[in-house]
Amino acid sequence: MNDALAPFQRLEHQRETFPDGLQLDCGAVVAPLVVAYRTHGRLNAARSNAVLVCHALTGDQYVAETHPLTGKPGWWEAVVGPGLPIDTDRYFVICANVLGGCMGSSGPPEEMTDAEGRPQGRPWGIDFPSVTIRDMVRAQKRLVDALGITRLMAVVGGSMGGMQVLEWAATFPEMVVAAAPIATATHHSAQNIAFHEVGRAAIHGDPDWMAGRYWEDGRIPAKGLSVARMVAHITYLSEAALGRKFGRKLRGASALTFLEDVFEVESYLRHQGSTFVRRFDANSYLTITRAMDYFDLSAEFGGELGAAFRGTATRFLVASFSSDWLFPTEESRALVRALNAAAANVSFVEIASDKGHDAFLLDEPVFHRALGGFLRGAAERVGA
Amino acid sequence: MNDALAPFQRLEHQRETFPDGLQLDCGAVVAPLVVAYRTHGRLNAARSNAVLVCHALTGDQYVAETHPLTGKPGWWEAVVGPGLPIDTDRYFVICANVLGGCMGSSGPPEEMTDAEGRPQGRPWGIDFPSVTIRDMVRAQKRLVDALGITRLMAVVGGSMGGMQVLEWAATFPEMVVAAAPIATATHHSAQNIAFHEVGRAAIHGDPDWMAGRYWEDGRIPAKGLSVARMVAHITYLSEAALGRKFGRKLRGASALTFLEDVFEVESYLRHQGSTFVRRFDANSYLTITRAMDYFDLSAEFGGELGAAFRGTATRFLVASFSSDWLFPTEESRALVRALNAAAANVSFVEIASDKGHDAFLLDEPVFHRALGGFLRGAAERVGA
């Protein structure tokens, strides 16, 4: 393996290894399949209280504990924990790093293997195969099986996590008692694809990207990845949130100075970009944004979204946030219409919030009450 | 001068030169001041029928004729021409390249001069001073004076052009009979600044940017400038327009192929980026985006927007487009409220359109009728 490991590669993770590997939608086989994960709470004797939490594009398995690299709180500590909506006193919570990620699951920074699973002495890098949201879910399914769980009390996630929730409910309906797709959509829109493409173009344009083989020279396409993160970060916030947080406030100056980087929002964004490159791999970013762009649940079911859920016994909570312009409420409504057409049991709530897409990660009491109540209902149904 | 001229530098432009130069808001002097411009129609004997058109960030003076570099129609041929809203059979239309631009007016690609106006044998490049929207307007004022015009029948422009319209009306109210600020705002929002900063970070991150001295080696930071254009282009379109135009259409394939650049919207954006770098200078892009970010009309008038227009005799037409999320209607409404508070004569129209910010450039009959009627009214008042 290359000595020039990025910070996120020096970590040890809790992992499950599946020697037979996984065949992906693109046809390639990743063998062995490795799934890094964390759990919280205790699985009850009936194995009926498992809640799978699916993370978003730049999230990981450290959902409810201090992140081993950044030292920051877990990404959903507002939601997952004792007495919280995803109550670790009652439920057994599982969160796995997605396939294609960079926190220990099979993905570009991990050691490449050949078709027989023999290590190749170098990272996959750009040669890691294309993955889909369905591939991510199949990898999670292997983990859930290995944990001896035949039915998940709930699958919950926001943004790309919500895409996985939908794919779980469509692909393994008998395993999913309750599903909560949050701030998400059944497909990625042209605008969303376009923003991702800007980020990818920035990475591709960075000479340190080295056509994806940056590991060979111990480099990181930090500038390109940073720009990708900056543009994505804007899409996660509402105009109102940016305006309230920064407005036109100047940095360390009371009047216009005609210097670079004069506005606070600029230094904030640059900070977001520069810290991101320490914890995320560029090839993983390319792989996962592609997976999101490919996602089109309707296309998987012959162009008819309702067919994805026909006859389902899964109960759904669909939640959107009013100021989310990346995954607007209208896209959640379209999902709800399809679920209704399939005669599914579905609750829908649009949360009034001016915090944009990121609201699903933040302190939103109305959302938390809705999710908590939904999960208690699921627990009652399965006697957990 | 450097031999390695970019395509836009090999052009000859109609220009007016002011040897005494212009003192800028930042304190620097640009001497001589050069203003490249085009005119259409004929100035009447009373010199009362002049309409100044102000261009947007990446526009130029070729408003109503084939662009000398791209061979494409002028950027506002839908609006400026015989029998059109800005009727060149009736009005004398002036359009100047903005200060800091790259189509012949004083700006980064032009030859640098010292404080006494002596040429320095190299382009200004990164050393071109910071400019403001007010500086741009002051430069246009010099041109208008030189053309022997003491009063403009109208000043019209969209986006950054609209910022110039507002600055004209606030700074030289006695010279402006009618003002039409379109799809614009009295200040740049935090979100707008943030998107600009992404573009600047992409340019700064391109090794061919050479800290702004790319001319010295005959380079162009094409990749960075292309990414900047891509992200900006997304903000010019509505989600609906992108969805209608591209949706999730695949490029030359009927099913997902797991190849790069599979979606039509991606290749479209890349094309937008790669053609832009042939006609636009990176240092001009940095200079002009900064000028937009600095713009805050209220701050120029002691924090009170109404003070910018107090006692004005100028008549205003404020127009916004319903799906414009870069300059939302709410920002036009705030402008209208300030104009009302100043007892100004103002008409406001929000055009129902799903084409986003770019709608002001496109075929929008309701908008064109409103603008045409507004200008005919102004012509009647001045007897033009």
Q: What is the mean pLDDT of chain B?
A: 94
Asked if A231 and B190 come within 8 Å (Cβ–Cβ), the reply is no
Q: How far apart are CA A247 and CA B105, in angstroms?
A: 32
User: Mean pLDDT, to the nearest integer, of B260-273?
Assistant: 86
Asked if B197 and A256 come within 8 Å (Cβ–Cβ), the reply is no
Residues of chain A in contact with residue B323, where contact means CB-CB under 8 angstroms, are: none
Per-residue pLDDT band at B82 (split at 50, 70, 90):
very high
- Verify whether residue A358 is a known catalytic residue: no
Closest CA relative to residue B335, chosen from B115, B195, B185, B214: B185
User: Mean pLDDT, to the nearest integer, of A33-38?
Assistant: 98
Per-residue pLDDT band at B1 (split at 50, 70, 90):
very low
Q: CA of A192: which chain B residue's CA is closest?
A: B239
Does B218 contact A at CB distance below 8 Å? no
pLDDT of A218 reads 85
Question: Among A76-85, A214-223, B160-169, B248-257, which stretch is predicted with the lowest mean pLDDT?
Answer: B248-257
B7-186+302-382 has which fold?
Rossmann fold (3.40.50)
Question: Among A306-310, B111-115, B337-341, which stretch is predicted with the lowest mean pLDDT?
Answer: B111-115
Q: Which residues contact B250 (CB under 8 A, 6 or more apart)?
A: B256, B257, B262, B263, B264
Q: Which residues contact A131 (CB under 8 A, 6 or more apart)?
A: A24, A25, A26, A99, A100, A287, A288, A290, A291
pLDDT in tens, B59-78: 999 999 999 999 999 999 99
Asked if B226 and A201 come within 8 Å (Cβ–Cβ), the reply is yes
Asked if pLDDT for residue B370 goes beyond 50, the answer is yes
- Verify whether residue A267 is a known catalytic residue: no
Q: How far apart are CA A164 and CA A183, in angstroms?
A: 12
pLDDT of A234 reads 96
| Residue range(s) occupied by CATH 1.10.1740.110 in chain A | 192-290
pLDDT of A256 reads 65
Please give the interface size between A and B, counted as residue pairs whose CB atoms are below 8 Å apart. 142
Asked if pLDDT for residue A9 goes beyond 50, the answer is yes
Domain B192-290: which CATH number of 1.10.10.10, 3.40.50.2300, 1.25.40.80, 1.10.1740.110: 1.10.1740.110
Closest CA relative to residue B59, chosen from B132, B161, B150: B161
DSSP annotation of B263 reads: B
Q: Which residues contact A372 (CB under 8 A, 6 or more apart)?
A: A84, A85, A87
pLDDT of B2 reads 43
Closest CA relative to residue B232, chosen from B191, B278, B204, B264: B191
Asked if B190 and A245 come within 8 Å (Cβ–Cβ), the reply is yes
Asked if pLDDT for residue A67 goes beyond 50, the answer is yes
Write the class of the CATH domain A7-188+299-382.
Answer: alpha beta
Q: B64 with B88: CB under 8 angstroms?
A: yes
| C-alpha to C-alpha distances, B199 to A59, A338, B217, B245, B337, nearest whole angstrom | 25, 39, 22, 24, 32
Q: What is the mean pLDDT of chain A?
A: 94
Q: Could you tell me whether strands B22-23 and A22-23 are parallel, antiparallel, or unpaired per DSSP bridges?
A: unpaired
Asked if A194 and B269 come within 8 Å (Cβ–Cβ), the reply is yes
Closest CA relative to residue B182, chosen from B375, B313, B340, B32: B375
pLDDT of A1 reads 40
Per-residue pLDDT band at B355 (split at 50, 70, 90):
very high
Does B271 contact A at CB distance below 8 Å? no
Per-residue pLDDT band at B115 (split at 50, 70, 90):
confident
User: Mean pLDDT, to the nearest integer, of A156-180?
Assistant: 98
Residues of chain A in contact with residue B198, where contact means CB-CB under 8 angstroms, are: 198, 227, 230-231, 234, 269
Q: CA of A327: which chain B residue's CA is closest?
A: B239
Please name the residue that has the structure tokens 């964004």. Answer: A269
Q: CA of A272: which chain B residue's CA is closest?
A: B198
Q: What are the tokens at B140? A: 């246009």
Q: How far apart are CA A33 and CA A16, in angstroms?
A: 8
Does A193 contact B at CB distance below 8 Å? yes
Asked if A193 and B265 come within 8 Å (Cβ–Cβ), the reply is yes
| Residue range(s) occupied by CATH 3.40.50.1820 in chain B | 7-186+302-382
Asked if pLDDT for residue B345 goes beyond 80, the answer is yes
Q: How far apart are CA B201 and CA A94, in angstroms?
A: 38
pLDDT of A2 reads 43
Asked if pLDDT for residue A380 goes beyond 60, the answer is yes
Q: What percent of chain A has pLDDT over 90?
A: 89
* Catalytic residue of the set A87, A281, A293, A324: A324
| Residue range(s) occupied by CATH 3.40.50.1820 in chain A | 7-188+299-382
Q: How far apart are CA B248 and CA A147, in angstroms?
A: 37
Does A134 contact B at CB distance below 8 Å? no
Q: A214 with A296: CB under 8 angstroms?
A: no
Give the torsion sign (CA, A10, A15, A18, A24). negative
Asked if pLDDT for residue B179 goes beyond 50, the answer is yes
User: Mean pLDDT, to the nearest integer, of B106-122?
Assistant: 92
In chain A, % helix, strand, coil (3-state, to 5) comes to 40, 20, 40
Mutate to test the interface with A, among B195, B206, B248, B297 (most CBs of A within 10 A): B248
Instruction: Please name the amino acid found at residue B114.
Output: D
pLDDT of B11 reads 86
Q: Which residues contact B170 (CB under 8 A, 6 or more apart)?
A: B297, B300, B301, B308, B309
Alpha carbon A314 to its chain's center: 22
Please name the residue that has the structure tokens 């599903």. Answer: A179
| B176 backbone dihedrals φ, ψ, rounded to 5° | -115, 105
Per-residue pLDDT band at A259 (split at 50, 70, 90):
low
- DSSP H helices in chain B: 133-146, 160-171, 190-205, 222-236, 239-245, 264-279, 282-294, 297-300, 329-341, 365-382
Asked if B198 and A234 come within 8 Å (Cβ–Cβ), the reply is yes
User: Mean pLDDT, to the nearest integer, of A74-80?
Assistant: 98
Task: Report pTM.
Answer: 0.94
Q: How far apart are CA B134 and CA B140, in angstroms?
A: 10
| C-alpha to C-alpha distances, A250 to A102, A258, B193, nearest whole angstrom | 36, 11, 12
pLDDT of A11 reads 86
- Out of B230, B246, B290, the one facing A190 most closely (by C-beta) is B246
